[in-house]
Amino acid sequence: MREASYNVYNSPAWFAVGAAFTSVQPEAGGETWKLAPGPAPEASVGVSVYLPRGRGVLPLPARAMEIDKLAVVRLSKNPLGAVRVDEGLGLVTYLARVGPDAPLDAPPTGFDMGVPAAESVAVARIAADLGLAGRPPAERLAAVAAFFRTRFRYSTYADRPLGQSPLEDFLLRRRSGHCEYFATATVLVLRAAGVPARYATGYSVQEWSRLEQRYVVRARHAHSWALGWVEGAWRDLDTTPPVWADEEAAVASAFEPVSDVGSWAVFLFSRWRYGEGEEGVARYLVWLLVPLVLGLAWRLYGRRRIGRVTTEAARDEPAPRHAGADSEFYLIADRLAAAGLGRGPAEPVSTWIDRLEAAHAPVTADALRGIAELHYRYRFDPAGIGVDERHALRARVEAWLAERAGAARARAHD
């Protein structure tokens, strides 16, 4: 879900230049807002979002062209695809309708080709090393995506470089960072290769709440990616390694299940307060929350007991910074990404494997599922895995990689 895009980089920040907001007039009835002309919408997505003081930018899916059931006083948009509520309520719920293209985003201008002097040498070097000159724009995007996918890794910490700009250090030395580095570097490398590009911000929608029976978006799901102009349209290009979502989730608070119940209660109360609640919300809210709080508190207590016993038993063993961070499963993910079979941003591993199997990719899907199951127990199970299972994970990954390498050699000899 994108909130905004930007066209001018002045380290360390992006800016929207020449992108003034203009008013959007509602249709008859006052709750339908056409953002751009075009064919009838193809699909819709329901969204609820808090707006501090009744103002804020709305997160929208790609190719949004109309907003329905949005009860606000004033709405505006800018040519870089941002839609802003200028006067509304503290919580709004709406349907975002999408079409076949992206009418909100204006075609590129000179601002979409600028590369700051401090980063120009580094990005020009990368563009030259990749041999991007003279290739079709779509191939340039694919080459840039493969470059970041196979030669970089995700990290949340970066030391302060000496004698280099942070982005130059990211591209030429460190080659690890968070999504802001990947998105900024991607935009500037594309521009150096002659492809107009913009920097986009928003959220990755990835977490289904069984409690609420809807997708929820947390602060840690905030994300950045690139937009590239190819064949007369803006295309999303996310080069951040897909493991970023797992890395961020792994450091979530142990009290998150309890806070989730509180957040849901606030959401239900806000819907009732602003006149959007389902029938009966005020009547059953308290009675619904009592058993949920008790159940989740018991689960949390059980997790803490398990974690304490495990920690005491393994006190003498050095552990990685995050449990499972050294899992060999990431070698498989990197190998498949290098072959163009990588996991999509926030795509569940099970869905990824099913997709590869359906496409008849040479991945030995059943073996991969077993490896993934061990990996996720190693990565997220509070009790971890035993020594034998840890050895099994390593051995199964090595066998899978060896089998794939052998198959590749056999195909090369055919």
Query: What pLDDT shows up at residue 405?
Result: 77
Distance of alpha carbon 111 from alpha carbon 97, whole angstroms: 29
Look at residue 105 and tell me if it is in a domain.
Answer: no
- Residue 135 and residue 208 in one domain: yes
Is residue 409's pLDDT more than 60?
yes
Of residues 93 and 285, the one with the higher pLDDT is: 93
How would you classify the pairing of strands 2-6 and 197-203? antiparallel
Instruction: Tell me the mean pLDDT in the region 366-381.
Output: 81
Range of weakest confidence among 19-23, 177-181, 318-322: 318-322
Chain centroid to Cα 211, Å, comes to 22
Between residues 213 and 79, which one has the greater pLDDT? 79
Tell me the pLDDT of the chain averaged across its residues: 82
Q: Averaged over 335-352, what is the pLDDT?
A: 74
What does the pLDDT look like over 235-286, one tens digit per residue? 999 999 888 777 777 767 777 777 788 887 888 888 887 775 554 454 445 5
Helices (H), 314-386: 329-338, 349-358, 365-380
Q: Do 229 and 301 share a domain, yes or no?
A: no
- Give the CATH number of the domain where residue 178 resides: 3.10.620.30
Q: Are residues 45 and 87 in the same domain?
A: yes
Q: Is residue 187 part of a domain?
A: yes
Distance of CA 166 to the CA centre of its chain: 22
Question: Of the ranges 139-143, 179-183, 291-295, which one carries the lowest mean pLDDT score?
Answer: 291-295
Portion of the chain with pLDDT greater than 90, in percent: 44
d(CA 276, CA 255): 29
Share of the chain above pLDDT 70, in %: 81
Alpha carbons within 13 angstroms on the beta-carbon side of residue 21 total: 15
Among the candidates 250, 278, 298, a domain finishes at 250
Residue 136 lies in a domain: yes
- pLDDT tens per residue, range 163-212: 788 899 999 998 998 999 999 999 999 999 999 999 999 999 988 888 88
Q: Tell me the mean pLDDT in the region 131-144.
A: 94
Query: Lowest-confidence range among 21-25, 265-269, 326-330, 343-347?
Result: 343-347
Residue 123 confidence (pLDDT) = 97
Query: pLDDT value at position 159?
Result: 67
Same domain, 12 and 90: yes
Q: Would you state the pLDDT for residue 308?
A: 37
Q: How far is CA 199 from each of CA 110, 142, 223, 352, rounded to the nearest angstrom?
A: 15, 17, 11, 27
Domain boundary among 45, 66, 98: 98
The verdict on 243 and 118 lying in the same domain is: yes
Is residue 314 predicted with pLDDT exceeding 50? no
Least trusted range by pLDDT, from 13-27, 112-126, 212-226:
212-226
Same structural domain, 195 and 243: yes
Per-residue confidence at 142, pLDDT binned at 50, 70, 90? very high
The number of domains in the chain is 4
Answer whether residue 65 is part of any domain: yes
**Range of 302's domain?**
256-313
The mean pLDDT of 52-63, rounded to a whole number, is: 92
How many residues would you count in the chain?
414
- CA-nearest of 225, 229, 222 to 148 is 225
pLDDT value for 160: 66
Structural domain contains residue 268 = yes
Residue 27 has pLDDT above 60, yes or no: yes
CA atoms within 13 A on the CB side of 194: 11
**What is the predicted pLDDT for the residue at 306?**
34
168 CB-contact burial (10 Å; exposed 0-12 / middle 13-18 / buried 19+): buried
Is 45 contained in some domain?
A: yes
Highest mean pLDDT among 36-45, 49-58, 370-379: 49-58
CA 74 from centroid of its chain's CA atoms: 30
Of 73, 98, 123, the residue at which a domain comes to its end is 98
- Give pLDDT, residue 276: 58
> What's the whole-number mean pLDDT along residues 352-366?
83
**Domain contains 318:** no
**pLDDT the model gives residue 285:** 52
What is the C-alpha separation between 89 and 74, in angstroms, rounded? 11
The per-residue pLDDT for 23 is 96
Most confident of 151-155, 209-213, 324-328, 375-379: 151-155
**Contact status, residue 226 vs residue 186, Cβ threshold 8 Å:** yes
Q: Is the pLDDT of residue 370 over 60?
A: yes
Q: Is the pLDDT of residue 311 over 70?
A: no
